[in-house]
Structure 1
Amino acid sequence: MSTTSPDRLGTPVSSGSRVEVDRLTWRPFGRREPVLADLSLALEPGERVLLAGPSGSGKSTLLRALAGVLTTTESGDLTGSVLVDGSPPAGAAVGLLVQDPADASVAGRVGRDVAFGPENLGDPRPAIWARVTEALHSVGFPHGLDRATSALSGGEAQRLALAGVLALRPGLVLLDEPTSMLDPVSAAVVRAAVLDAVVGAGATLVLVEHQVEPWLDLVDRVVVLDGSGAECADGPVRATLAAETTSLLARGVWVPGEGAPAPLPVDPGLCAPVGGAPTVEDALVEASSVTVTRAPRAGLGVPEQPARPVLALAEATAVVRPGEVVAVTGPSGAGKTTLTGLLAGLEAPTTGSVVAGAPMRAARPASGTEDGPAGAAAVGPEPATWGSADLAARVGWVPQQAELAVVGRTVRDDVLATARRLGQDETTAAARADGLLDTLGLTHVAGADPHHLSGGEMRRLALAGALAHGPSVLVLDEPTVGQDRLTWAAVAGVVLAARTAGLGVVVATHDPHLVALADREVRLTPAVAPATNQAAVPAAAAVPPGPDAHTPERDVAAPSAAAKGQQRPARRQPGRARALREPGRWGGLAGRCGPLSALLASALLLAGAPFIRDLRTAVIALAVELALAPLVLGRTRTPLRSLAPGLLAVASVGFSNWLLSVDHSWTSGATAGLRVAFFVLPGVALAARIDPSALGDHLAQRAHLPPRPVIAAVAALQRFDALGSTWDQLARTHRVRGLAPGRSPLARARHVSALTFALLVQTLRQAGRMAVAMEARGFSRRGARTWAEAAPWTVADTAMTALGLAVAGIPALLSVLG
């Protein structure tokens, strides 16, 4: 049984929980074999367990089962039992850190995100903010409580997610690869946080990690799962690793002290370019002094501060030649993903040039499709301008988010999708696809839905799909993340086979073992110092790469000082629930009132609209609204994209009334349109200034709506602006896979339909993963819920309501006066 002890705040803290797993078996629907098979396990209070095993062995699945969220979004056959302190697991007693930190974000600002768990537990407001501040400090979080979660790097998001778990002070802490996407220094900060906050509190710990060695001093027991989801080793960590070294290596476990395995021998014919490898050594692609500056994607609401362009890459140069592997390395923010995207033709640089060499521009032997030529013709020098089929025939691409590369209903169909689109011979393409699936260990899931694969399996699927159609250039972004020793050897073997076959291979990676296989290394430095970016240098002549030299682009460089010594996040004043505005900018009455009064004012305008019966009344009412706009909205501008739906409604209503009127009177149409504008446009402008978290606070505390549906709706609103970014990434995937349409309007309509369906699938899957993260932080816990911020009704709210009532009364007054 877990016990309680006071933490540094003087509040009760759970120490270790006892965990009992009895004959647990789980087979998701759509899979023939179970992911977990008859697994039994017992963990004593305070025990620290490392859960290891090959890719796809069910490690993450077991963590979800221990957290009690296995069936939250999945369906399947589940037998056996899991007990935590003698009862089914609950969010209050168990803290789960999911694999992707983006899935754990439930609020728009850092402070509210970490406060989510303590709110679900019913802690009083002062205790909530004390726990939030303490948790953020324990993980070395470098920003304040008002930092937007959307502005965090991957490493910062990982530390924020860990802080959200630690704020619960659970008796059982479950961590799913907490450092897999962090640079070494940031990973060390996270491990120190785990040691201090989890181990120091005596909590029971279950940790999933492929890279075992850095965690040896923090764990005291290792449990290894085999490929069938059954236990194959269990015991004290160092003794077990030493005694079972041979069998663990054979199962794909990265045993400390053992070097990287030899790459798997792979037939180069599986990777050979269609039409043969180039006979000359001219460059396939060359990027010269490229710089990329991006404008941040604007959301639906009014931004807190003006959007500033982001320098993603500065003055980088790289050359890709046939028959070589080029490793793109560098620290956080250096632009590795951006550079590889340029070399793959996914976008054009802001300045500089990306030019394809003669071997890449030559015609390709491919058949046509219904939408146009399938890459048979010669192309121009700039890959970013090529059509979809032309690009797919020449380039294979594996994105960092491998899930976005899925384009088929089954694993095998996904691998064959581009070859079929290019009109290649089905028999030849199928032989290559089956060979790649076998090499990469995916034959047993060839008929499965790709979305049911593990993260490592999905990354290998993306590699197979990028190669099966025989491109000349292969661009890979972090291809070895989430791979065990055996699958790593398979991925490395495919990379070397592609080189032998004459492909130019580009790999963005922080994996030192993979960099060691490269012929040359392009090492980037952060874009803030463009002068230090270097051109490609021979890998053999470069300084041997160390772990800190290869960090994924979305990681954050850890602070120069230890996390313990840094300043704590600034404390938020409880009750401050509205978004911050740029200093010196008057935000108007809307910036000072709460969301309920803004919504109430909009509703009052709707009630006043029916009294607009003539053009004179409509013009006067609209003129009053325009005159009051500076007072209500201040100096902040409402983006036109936010007003566009309202303007469309105004135009549609006006046109319809003009068309249907007996004498086609323009005054009838204008009056109807302005009547709609009277309440729609102010309502849109006010809604754009509402902070979703503040809306949830007021709906639950002031309107007394059920809290959990309100929270779910607010979490969905927080994710809405990300849909545009996901759409762009899906469109890039379809283009490089040859699935983008030609000029036919029908083909374009089908493509938009396919992208819309893919976006729906991605959104639903992300919503499911977010639901798991929310459940693991006590979302469904019974009992009273508290709120980190108050929802006061202020003088500004009264003024906003009174103003809305006054403006709404103008049409009624004019109609009475005649």
Structure 2
Amino acid sequence: MIDLIGLSVGYPGRPAPVLADVNLSIDEGDLVLVAGRTGTGKSTLLGTVNGLVPRFTGGTMRGAVTVAGRSTVDHAARDMADLVGFVGQDPLAGFVTDVVEEEIAYGMEQLGIAPDAMRKRVEETLDTMGIADLRRRSLRSLSGGQQQRVAIAAVLAAQPQVLVLDEPTSALDPTAASDVLAAIGALVWDAGLTVVLAEHRLERVMKQVDQVLWLPGDGRAEFGPPAEVLAHADVVPPLAQLSRAIGWAQVPLSVRDARRRVGREHVEPSVIEHEPAPVGPTTVRARGLSVSYGPVVALDGIDIDLTAGQVTALMGRNGAGKSTLLWALQGGRRSTGELTVAGADPRRLGARAARRLVTLVPQTAADLLYLPTVAAECAQADEDAGAAPGATRALLERLGMDLPSRTDPRDLSEGQRLGLVLAIQLSAGAGVLLLDEPTRGLDYEAKHQLRTMLRALAADGATVLVSTHDVEFAAGVSDRTVMMADAQIVADGPSREVCAASPSFAPQLARVFAPRPVLTLDDIDWASVRAVRS
């Protein structure tokens, strides 16, 4: 179905090509996972499948890419639209209408599909993606996860033969991600759809894929069965970490396979009892905090306390009210109820004064970067915060980021940009840090760096609240987990108890070793494992 023949892609200013002489074939009806660290060329490779690269990205391309015999060199992206459906990382940037059902119908209109057939496909696609209740909603009123599902639905409605997805579950909660991937899997198995997707959270998709295409970052591409490729790739999901720790040659692709192997080999680890983080004074106190958007209740009488020195994970379904809660605690939403942050109500302060108490890193952190160099961003942050020159740069270095001063922030990796935004937001000296989905677009190493940063800030006395759908990240970084549903808090307690008790939000290792209270590899006494296996 898809053939890459001697494919090489390079960009000006890069000494080596992103992709170098790649040769491979993807069979019809295969589900292929493209894996690799940030910046290794995943999006570039996906863009070659429908001709977006290099026409709309710049750079040079050698070799050929054919889809069902149609060459992307000889056919523009618009001429591939009936054959290849493409969903990029930022759904909102790709929308061309204002309302959900209009967006789903738009692509079919451009392909000249009859109105009766369009109406039927719109209904079928709404049901397939589980978004029928959103049909008349404004696209801009949706959560990031809801927007992502609409973007996939808009492409699926045109019934392409090939579906290309760039980070399709990055904004989805675990349940929604499972639903979307199940729907895509059903189309692969039942309709013969060929799917190529790039994903950083490999644990979500690895059990479903037929092949893995790993990009090490040196221009090469390694293509093969998931269990073999993931055993030595530099992107290491939890089950691959477990395999390497125990010494398995092949990676189990599902929790079921891992549990069976653990039982068969009598891997019975002792669990390390970690000392709970010391609880500091209460820095954030909310009582009856409520937010409404017209008839929609986004926060319904929230009571919550946050303490210094603690990292709290905020989790729940898309649309549960997590982002609204963060903005309300920051004072950036019209809310009712009591709110104090470090003894003051940020709603009654000016923006600059409020920023000295509490700061927020939004979902699209890069939107806060607008100057041409790292040095300019740091200098502006110093000025805005009234801090001494060099204060933001010092914060950046304390966070473990050594970024070249003359580099354009747009040329940084996602993890580096996030680190820069963190330093900028912290430059005002706020003791409370709120982060909204900070791991979107981050590979495993970048998430490890972010986890280290947040733990260090908490150790220095900061109060950290992280809204995330990434259950593995939450398990590794948080002391406490707060679960939201339907604008209310439904669970609140130590992460080890709240996460492990949830069938949807439990990390993979908690499921592998249940009922033992294991969340991450750091919870396991590996000396006991080696003793049992010997």
Question: Taking structure 2 as the reference length, what is the TM-score of the superposition?
Answer: 0.77
Select 1:548's aligned residue among 472, 491, 504: 504
1:478 aligned to 437, 453, 477, which one?
437
Task: Give per-residue Cα distances to partners, 1:466-507, cap 9 Å, x unaligned.
Answer: 335543222111222222211111000000000111111121
Q: Does 1:42 align with 2:24?
A: yes
Supply the distance in 2 between the matched residues of 1:252 and 1:125 (Cα, whole angstroms). 45
2:323 maps to 1:334:
no
Residue 65 of structure 1: aligned partner: 48
**Percent pairwise identity:** 32
Q: For residues 171 and 18 of structure 1, do their structure 2 counterparts lie closer, same or farther at Cα, with a shift above 3 Å needed? A: same
Question: Would you say 1:464 and 2:423 are equivalent positions?
Answer: yes
Give secondary structure in 1 for the equivalent of 2:102. Answer: helix
Partner of 2:393: 430
Is residue 293 from structure 1 mapped to residue 256 from structure 2 by the alignment? Answer: no
The answer as to whether partners of 2:309 and 2:461 remain within 8 angstroms in 1 is yes
Aligned residue for 2:341? 356
One-letter identity of the residue aligned with 1:354: L
Alpha-carbon distance in 1 for matches of 2:63, 2:416: 26
User: Residues 241 and 342 of structure 1: is their aligned pair in 2 closer, same or farther, counting only changes over 3 Å?
Assistant: same
Give 1:429 shift. Answer: 3.8
Conservation of the 8 A alpha-carbon contact between 1:512 and 1:547: no
Alignment correspondent of 2:147: 157
Q: Is the 8 A contact 2:213 2:224 kept in 1?
A: yes
1:95 equivalent to 2:85? Answer yes
Q: Pick the aligned partner of 2:383 from 399, 415, 420.
A: 420
The change in CA–CA distance for 1:471 and 1:137 in structure 2 (over 3 A counts) is closer
Deviates more, 1:515-524 or 1:138-147: 138-147
2: CA distance, partners of 1:282 / 1:162? 45
Distance 1:347 1:239, change over 3 A: same
Tell me which of 364, 367, 389 is aligned to 1:401: 364
Alpha carbons of structure 1 residues 428 and 157: separation in structure 2 relative to 1, 3 Å: closer
Within-5 A mapping of 1:438-449: 439-440=400-401, 443=403, 447-449=406-408
Q: What are the Cα deviations for residues 179-215 of structure 1, in whole angstroms up to 9, with x where unaligned? A: 2222222222211221222443323321111222332
1:26 aligned onto 2:15: no
Unaligned runs of 5+ in 2: 246-278, 508-534
Which residues of 2 match residues 772-787 of structure 1 at below 5 A? none
Distance 1:23 1:401, change over 3 A: same
Task: Work out which of the two has the higher radius of gyration on C-alpha atoms and give 1 or 2.
Answer: 1
Contact conserved, 1:290 with 1:317, CA < 8 A, in 2?
Answer: yes
What is residue 310 of structure 1 aligned with on the other side? Answer: 296
Matched, 1:82 2:82: no
2: CA distance, partners of 1:259 / 1:416: 44
Among residues 471, 480, 483, which one is paired with 1:523 in the alignment? 483
Question: Which has more strand, going by share of residues?
Answer: 2
Counterpart pick for 2:187 among 181, 186, 197 = 197
1:320 and 2:310 correspond: no
The aligned counterpart of 1:54 is 37
Identify if the C-alpha distance between structure 1 residues 211 and 473 changes in structure 2 by more than 3 Å, giving closer, same or farther. same
Return 486-495 or 325-334, whichever deviates more: 325-334
User: What secondary structure sits across from 2:442 in the alignment?
Assistant: coil
1:283 aligns with 2:262: no
Q: Which amino acid aligns with 2:34?
A: L
Aligned partners of 1:547 and 1:101: how far apart in 2? 28
The verdict on how the C-alpha distance between 1:417 and 1:216 changes in structure 2, with shifts beyond 3 A counting, is: same
Q: What TM-score do you get using the length of structure 1 for normalisation? A: 0.52
- Give 1 or 2: higher helix fraction: 1
| Partner SS for 2:71 | coil
CA distance in 2, matches of 1:142, 1:261: 43
3-state DSSP of counterpart to 1:548? coil
Q: Check the 8 A contact 1:392/1:418 in 2, yes or no.
A: no
The answer to whether the Cα contact below 8 Å between 1:289 and 1:317 also exists between their aligned partners in 2 is: yes
- Cα distance in 2, alignment partners of residues 35 and 207 from structure 1: 21
> Which residue among 208, 220, 224 is the counterpart of 1:235?
224
* Contact persistence 1:223–1:233 (CA under 8 A): yes
Distance 1:182 1:449, change over 3 A: same
Shift of the 61–453 alpha-carbon distance from structure 1 to 2, 3 Å rule, reads farther
**Matched residue of 1:327: which SS?**
strand
User: What whole-Å deviation, never above 9, does each CA across 1:503-529 have from its counterpart, x for those lacking one?
Assistant: 1112122333343332333333312xx
Cα pair 2:230 2:236 within 8 Å, conserved: no
Aligned residue for 1:660?
none
Alignment of 1:120-159 (within 5 A): 120-143=110-133, 148-159=138-149
Q: Find the aligned partners of 1:533 and 1:335 in 2 and give their Cα distance.
A: 12
Deviation at 1:32, TM superposition (A): 4.2
Q: How far did residue 455 of structure 1 move?
A: 4.8
Question: How far apart in 1 are the matches of 2:40 and 2:391?
Answer: 32
Residue by residue over 1:320-343, the C-alpha shift from the partner in whole angstroms, topping out at 9 and shown as x without a partner, is 322222222233333222222233
Confirm or deny that 1:343 pairs with 2:329.
Answer: yes
- Counterpart residue number, 1:258: 241
Asked which structure has the greater RCO (Cα within 8 Å, sep 6+), the reply is 1
Within 2, Cα distance between the matches of 1:431 and 1:184? 37
Task: Indicate conservation of the 8 Å contact 2:283/2:306, yes or no.
Answer: yes
Partner AA of 1:357 in structure 2:
A
Give the aligned length.
Answer: 465
2:158 is the counterpart of 1:168: yes
Task: State which drifts further: 101-110 or 502-511.
Answer: 101-110
Q: Please give the per-residue CA displacement for 1:30-50, whole angstroms capped at 9, x wherever unaligned.
A: x54567242513223313321
Output the CA distance in 1 between the equivalents of 2:155 and 2:451.
35
> In 1, Cα distance between the equivalents of 2:94 and 2:136?
17
Q: Distance in 1 between matches of 2:375 and 2:236?
A: 27
Task: Report if aligned partners of 2:172, 2:469 keep a CA contact under 8 Å in 1.
Answer: no
Q: Cα deviations across residues 115-140 of structure 1 (Å, max 9, x unaligned)?
A: 33333223333333343334334334
2:146 aligned with 1:187: no
Aligned-partner SS, 1:443: coil
Distance 1:388-1:115 versus aligned 2 partners, 3 A rule: closer
Q: CA offset at residue 461 of structure 1? A: 3.5
Instruction: Give the drift of 1:344.
Output: 2.6
- CA-based RMSD of the aligned residues comes to 3.3
SS in 2 for 1:252: coil
Q: Which amino acid aligns with 2:92?
A: A
User: Do the aligned residues in 2 keep the contact of 1:36 with 1:62 (CA within 8 Å)?
Assistant: no
Give the 3 Å change call, closer, same or farther, for CA 234–312 of structure 1 in structure 2: same
| Residue in structure 2 matched with residue 382 of structure 1 by the alignment | 345
Question: Structure 1 residue 496 and structure 2 residue 470: aligned?
Answer: no
Give me the whole-angstrom Cα distance separating, in 2, the residues matched to 1:136 and 1:321: 42
Q: Is the 8 A contact 1:285 1:321 kept in 2?
A: yes
**Matched residue SS, 1:40:** strand
Q: Helix, strand or coil: the match of 1:25?
A: strand
Letter of the aligned partner of 1:491 in structure 2? L
Structure 1 residue 435: deviation in Å? 4.8
Distance 2:506 2:317 in 1: 6
Separation in 1, partners of 2:351, 2:143: 31
- Structure 2 distance, partners of 1:348, 1:159, is 28
Cα distance change, pair 319–260 in 1 and its aligned pair in 2 (3 A)? farther
User: Which AA in structure 1 matches 2:227?
Assistant: R
The Cα of 1:98 is off from its aligned counterpart by: 1.5
Alpha-carbon distance between aligned partners in 1 of 2:473 and 2:122, rounded to the nearest angstrom: 39
Question: Which amino acid counterpart does residue 25 of structure 1 have in structure 2?
Answer: V
